[in-house]
Amino acid sequence: MSLDPQEFMTKMEKRVNLTSEDKALLKSHADWGKEIASEMADHFYTYLGNDEEMDAIMKEKEGRMERLRVTFVQWFYEMFTGMDDWGKAYAERRWRIGLVHVKIGIAPQHVVPAMAIVVQAFTNRIKTDSKDEALRDALSRICMIDLAFIEQAYVEVSSAAVLKETG
């Protein structure tokens, strides 16, 4: 793949206007993010489980559902911590997550609406917990960056396949 995850991360931060203030706000709410991560996973997987194609993919291999859930909870929490201040490690992990989505067949037609469910769920929780709307905005921006990584993985893999086929 020709994509440099760190360069892509930097480009996406500019495009969605993820600021240092957003990052500080996310970090200051990391405990809250960890607290609600499992609930967000419930919303996400309940939604996907209602889709026949996604349900089959998630249950295709023994233990896959449990592994996916653990990965989701970790992913959600990492949006708050940034791992390495949303640097190289964060970008590379997001890129790998995107490639895994491609590998196991979780297509954009499933990913995008599922991410919308997550955004809706944390927006509701932010309201319920009387958190500032700035947190919703910051979390929405980092979600869109993470979604862009998944979408870009499809573009890169598809482009590579076409180039291989057509020379």
The one-letter amino acid at 146: D
The CATH number for 102's domain is 1.10.490.10
Looking at mean pLDDT, say which of 1-5, 66-70, 89-93 comes out highest: 89-93
Query: Domain span at residue 151?
Result: 5-166
Per the structure, the count of domains in the chain is 1
pLDDT for 44 equals 92
pLDDT for 39 equals 98
pLDDT band at residue 31 under the 50/70/90 scheme: very high
Tens digits of residue pLDDT in 46-75: 998 888 888 888 787 887 778 889 999 999
